[in-house]
Amino acid sequence: MFFTEKFFQNNEPSHEITIETKKKIILDSIDLIENSEIFDRSYGKAYNKIEVHGRSFFIEYDKTRHEALLKEIFKDLKLKHNFSKDYVDEFIIDLTIEIFKNGITKVEKNPLVVDIFEDSFYESIVYIPLDGIRMEKQPLIIGKIKLREFTQIDADFHLKNISNLLKINPHYTDKKRKEIINQVKKEISDLIGVCAEFKVYADPKTAIDIAKKECDKVLDLLNWITSYVYSRSYRAFIGFKGEIPRSSRNTLVAKIDFSSYHQRWESTGALYKLEISNKTVPIMHKIGLFKVSEFLKKPKLKPFEKSLLTAIHWFADCQMQDDPENEILILMIAMETLLSTDKNEPKSSFISEATAILLGDEEHKKELKNKIKSLYDKRSRITHEGQAQFKTEDVDYLRHVVKDLIYRMVKNKDYINSQKALIDYISDKKDEQKLKVKINLDELKKIGN
């Protein structure tokens, strides 16, 4: 079954914590509790409240020991940002309640006390429902995300597990259990369809936040790749379920005396879904999606890798734009992200020349350079003066240029892999061009003589 297989190859190393480490943390937690103040009322102060055998107590932990214990737990987990301070405090409170119920000696000597640790710090699987994808070939792993169909079988499995957990929970009446199960059934049914599956060591709230961030990166890659699978008119957009608009609009026009009418029906939002099949996956390989997705597995990105992913993000964003001015601005940002340098020359000059060198053949380099420079001038009038109009052809032209630039950078990422490498490459190509011009002039002189 999908929930037990190891589906993340080359993923982050396991964050399993040894039994010895768990016991040490528990013993240090006991030491913290032993050196805390216990009250039967709060006296208006922000003490931690605990309830044991129907009685309420208020505990004030020793500040120094408490902070030291938090640091120790975060250090051993090696995932400081995956568990919040409040969540770790809840673990300490649970342990405090266990001690109040059973006494320190029993807790210290009970080997099952590590269950308290494992009930709080564990690996989770997050399922995020997506829209805009139709899967014929599955599963598909991109970065740290596994794309797959969440089926009725999966929904039934999880509902059965939740039902069994509710049955052994003494805090619910049969009536309340039935209400919760009916509600959960509806909520789990909403997951049926294509989903993103992600594994992470984190508290539940943080697990969702991390999963969505990782998924966002994958959605950028998929929205980028749709430009190679479908034409712009297909409007194939991919996103989280509920975030992709898909509707229609009917506009009515009446003659002033209402003696005649005209209607126009239009579809709005997304029209097509990205098909993941034996036909489209080879396109993803060819364009380099899986090469780029390797970046997503790295704990730390190189500046150039980050720039490439950011450029893809902006290009993916422009796919969903209807306003030509907005699209031009976003495409320019994508281009600048890829080609901007620290060189002391006008940004537009370097970017237009770099674009011409990277994409243009000998016959069209000058034309391409001038066109990009012209679009930059128009862009400046929008941002600084609020003036300038772009034709549809301008937007289409720049979209294809940026798309080709990203493709070229992906293909050449092994040797154009830094800002310096890009500058050196452009400089070498300019020198080659100068040399060609010089050779041609020398040959002309020889002919003249």
CA 210 to chain centre: 8
Mean pLDDT computed over every residue of the chain: 82
pLDDT 10s digits, 394-431? 889 999 999 999 999 999 888 888 888 888 888 887 76
> Which of these three, 254, 277, 311, is where a domain ends?
254
Residues 114 and 133 placed together within one structural domain of the fold: no
User: What DSSP state is assigned to residue 234?
Assistant: G
> Would you place residue 11 in the very low, low, confident or very high pLDDT band (cuts 50, 70, 90)?
very low
Q: Report yes or no on 335 lying in a domain.
A: yes
The 8 Å CB, 24+ separation contacts for 241-246 are 241/128, 241/129, 241/130, 241/131, 241/190, 241/193, 242/131, 243/131, 244/131, 244/132, 244/269, 244/270, 245/269, 245/270, 246/131, 246/270, 246/271
pLDDT 10s digits, 204-225? 999 999 999 999 999 999 999 9
Residues 6+ apart with CB under 8 A from 323: none
**Least confidently predicted of 31-35, 97-101, 338-342, 433-437:** 433-437
Average pLDDT on 320-346 reads: 82
pLDDT of 444 > 60? The answer is no
Residues 435 and 404 placed together within one structural domain of the fold: yes
> Would you place residue 45 in the very low, low, confident or very high pLDDT band (cuts 50, 70, 90)?
low
Q: Please give the structure tokens belonging to residue 165.
A: 């957990």
Average pLDDT on 97-118 reads: 69
Separation between Cα atoms, residue 201 and residue 207, nearest integer Å: 7
Q: Report yes or no on 184 lying in a domain.
A: yes
Q: Report yes or no on 286 lying in a domain.
A: no
Average pLDDT on 234-252 reads: 89
Q: Which amino acid is at 129?
A: P
What domain count does the chain have?
3
Q: Report yes or no on 171 lying in a domain.
A: yes
Average pLDDT on 119-148 reads: 92
Place of tokens 């749709």: 226
Per-residue model confidence (pLDDT) at position 393: 86
Contact (CB, 8 A) for 74 and 83 = yes
pLDDT 10s digits, 72-93? 888 777 767 788 888 888 888 8
Per-residue model confidence (pLDDT) at position 436: 56
Per-residue model confidence (pLDDT) at position 85: 84
Per-residue model confidence (pLDDT) at position 2: 27
Per-residue model confidence (pLDDT) at position 288: 94
Contact (CB, 8 A) for 91 and 118 = no
Per-residue model confidence (pLDDT) at position 3: 27
Residues 397 and 328 placed together within one structural domain of the fold: yes
> Which of these three, 254, 285, 310, is where a domain ends?
254
> Would you place residue 433 in the very low, low, confident or very high pLDDT band (cuts 50, 70, 90)?
low
Residues 208 and 87 placed together within one structural domain of the fold: no
Residues 146 and 248 placed together within one structural domain of the fold: yes
pLDDT of 10 > 60? The answer is no
Bond before 139 cis per omega within 30 degrees: yes
pLDDT of 53 > 60? The answer is yes
Separation between Cα atoms, residue 331 and residue 312, nearest integer Å: 10
Q: Which amino acid is at 292?
A: V
Place of tokens 């737990």: 73
CA 48 to chain centre: 36
Residues 387 and 432 placed together within one structural domain of the fold: yes
Average pLDDT on 120-125 reads: 87
Separation between Cα atoms, residue 222 and residue 401, nearest integer Å: 19
Residue 124: C-alpha distances to residues 15, 115, 152, 198, 298 (Å):
12, 16, 21, 8, 20
Q: Report yes or no on 28 lying in a domain.
A: yes
**Least confidently predicted of 51-60, 118-127, 232-241, 382-391:** 382-391
Residues 347 and 417 placed together within one structural domain of the fold: yes
Q: Report yes or no on 287 lying in a domain.
A: no
Separation between Cα atoms, residue 12 and residue 118, nearest integer Å: 20
Q: Which amino acid is at 348?
A: S
> Which of these three, 254, 269, 288, is where a domain ends?
254
CA 282 to chain centre: 23
Per-residue model confidence (pLDDT) at position 446: 53
**Least confidently predicted of 108-112, 150-154, 352-356:** 108-112
Q: Which amino acid is at 337?
A: T
Residues 313 and 400 placed together within one structural domain of the fold: yes
Residues 312 and 435 placed together within one structural domain of the fold: yes
Q: Report yes or no on 261 lying in a domain.
A: no
pLDDT of 369 > 50? The answer is yes
> Would you place residue 120 in the very low, low, confident or very high pLDDT band (cuts 50, 70, 90)?
confident
Q: Please give the structure tokens belonging to residue 208.
A: 């969702």
Residues 431 and 305 placed together within one structural domain of the fold: yes
Question: Range of 94's domain?
Answer: 19-120
Per-residue model confidence (pLDDT) at position 157: 94
Per-residue model confidence (pLDDT) at position 208: 95
Residue 319: C-alpha distances to residues 225, 236, 270, 278, 358 (Å):
11, 9, 11, 24, 23
Q: Report yes or no on 4 lying in a domain.
A: no
Any alpha helices (H) in 386-412, and if so which ranges? 392-411
Average pLDDT on 33-51 reads: 70
Residues 317 and 349 placed together within one structural domain of the fold: yes
pLDDT-above-70 percentage for the chain: 82
Separation between Cα atoms, residue 382 and residue 329, nearest integer Å: 9
Residues 339 and 414 placed together within one structural domain of the fold: yes
pLDDT of 441 > 60? The answer is no
pLDDT 10s digits, 285-295? 999 999 999 99
> Would you place residue 140 in the very low, low, confident or very high pLDDT band (cuts 50, 70, 90)?
very high
Separation between Cα atoms, residue 422 and residue 338, nearest integer Å: 10
Tell me how many degrees the CA angle 333-334-340 measures, rounded to the nearest 5.
Answer: 75
pLDDT 10s digits, 162-218? 999 888 888 788 888 899 999 999 999 999 999 999 999 889 999 999 999 999 999
